[in-house]
Copies of this chain bind each other. A is one copy, B any other.
Amino acid sequence: MEFTAELIADFLGGEVVGDKAARVTTISKIESGEPGTLAFLANPKYEHYIYDTQATIVLVGRDFAPQRPVSATLIRVDDAYGAFARILELYHSMKPAKSGVSPQAFISSTVTVGKDAYIGEFAVIGENVTIGDNAKIYPQVYVGDNVVIGEGVTLYAGVKIYEECVLGDHVTIHSGAVIGADGFGFAPQPDGSYRKIPQVGNVVIEDWVEIGANTCVDRATMGSTIIHKGVKLDDLVLIAHNVQIGENTVFSAQVGVAGSTKIGSRCMFGGQVGVAGHISVADGTQVASQSGIAQSVKEENQRLMGSPAYAASAYQRSSFVFRDLPAMSKRLAALEKELERLRAETE
């Protein structure tokens, strides 16, 4: 694939400043641009790179005014970052797409496979499964009985979906993720042992959800664990049984949410956050990495920090004083001594 500056400018509705015939074959970051690549400049912090970059073409904003000469050909666009993302999508879409059903997959006789679906080698598709049009099931995926898979779903190599789960359209799940394993439910017995509580519910994943590598979403004891539309979960996340995650909520890696908790929409959780079971967290809650949510959060759009977490600004103030604790302890002891002396004097 090779493109000229002119062609790219046409595609993006931009304007070429420099050599319209300049050609690129791939993309790069501006700080490590090489000849034959296309880069972008959106953050003014990175502006200094544009004067030295080896990239052949750089996307810039309409209002970018170079302070010094630039050797790269520029393409002026309304939104340099957005335009670059479109180029990334274009570049990505030109990778040869997987297609066809491998004769080495195991597909039960009762499966319905949609148009143009791909099923790779050694995948196992259980009884009564429905697979939507254009779905891509990579090698070694396991899809249990009665699972429903929507249109345009991508399951990367080795994903495991237990029986009865339901995936909407355009869901993407990365390798090693496990959807629908048993929730962690055991009833304590008089002799100290535990008796398993059968987990007879399922997992429902709505449209446009993306789930990272080795993430686990457990099935409900009864009913459904629900990941609502547009949710994005990073790698190694744990979603326990009967949890609900609201629309467009985003979790960084290694977050864990305990059973029956309900997370609102538009939340953003940093990495390694933990959330207790049987609580609810309001829409738009932002949680700093490694924090722990121990109680329900009722007010929307708060920023929380700490374990147990509370208002981030207040936590940070306390955290700042924490560093001074040894000195405060000495000052307190000195005050006590001084006061003792003073009292002795005045009495």
Which A residues have a C-beta under 8 Å from some C-beta of B?
Answer: 27-29, 32, 81-82, 85, 88-89, 91-92, 102, 104, 106, 120-122, 124, 138-140, 142, 144, 156-158, 160, 162, 172, 174-176, 178, 181-182, 184, 186-187, 192-198, 200, 208, 210, 212-214, 216, 218, 221-223, 230, 232, 234-236, 238, 240, 247-248, 250, 252-254, 256, 258, 265-266, 271-272, 274, 276, 289-290, 292, 294, 307-308, 310, 314, 317-326, 328-329, 331-332, 335-336, 338-339, 342-343, 345-346
Residues on the B chain within 8 Å of A27, using CB: 200, 222
Q: Are B345 and A342 in contact (CB under 8 A)?
A: no
Q: Are B156 and A140 in contact (CB under 8 A)?
A: no
16 examples of A-B residue contacts, CB within 8 angstroms: A28-B223, A85-B197, A104-B106, A106-B121, A106-B139, A142-B157, A144-B157, A175-B181, A236-B236, A256-B272, A274-B289, A321-B329, A322-B322, A328-B328, A331-B332, A332-B332
Instruction: Return the contact of A329 from the options B139, B235, B272, B328 (Cβ within 8 A).
Output: B328
Closest to A343 in B: B342
Instruction: Return the contact of A235 from the options B92, B124, B186, B216 (Cβ within 8 A).
Output: B216
Q: Are A346 and B342 in contact (CB under 8 A)?
A: yes
Q: Are B335 and A28 in contact (CB under 8 A)?
A: no
Instruction: Return the contact of A290 from the options B138, B253, B274 (Cβ within 8 A).
Output: B274
Interface centre among A89, A121, A178 (most CB of B within 10 A): A178
Closest to A310 in B: B323
Q: Are A210 and B222 in contact (CB under 8 A)?
A: no
Query: In the docked arrangement, what's the CA distance between A331 and B238, Å?
Result: 43
- Closest CB-CB distance, A74 to chain B, in whole Å? 19
- Closest CB-CB distance, A49 to chain B, in whole Å? 14
Q: Are B174 and A181 in contact (CB under 8 A)?
A: yes
Query: In the docked arrangement, what's the CA distance between A88 and B200, Å?
Result: 7
Query: In the docked arrangement, what's the CA distance between A134 and B299, Å?
Result: 52
Given that A142-B157, A174-B181 are known contacts, is A339 also in contact with B339, CB under 8 Å in the complex?
Answer: yes
Query: In the docked arrangement, what's the CA distance between A91 and B200, Å?
Result: 8
Query: In the docked arrangement, what's the CA distance between A186 and B339, Å?
Result: 57
Q: Are B325 and A318 in contact (CB under 8 A)?
A: yes
- Closest CB-CB distance, A24 to chain B, in whole Å? 13
Query: In the docked arrangement, what's the CA distance between A29 and B221, Å?
Result: 10
Residues on the B chain within 8 Å of A319, using CB: 308
Q: Are B195 and A85 in contact (CB under 8 A)?
A: yes
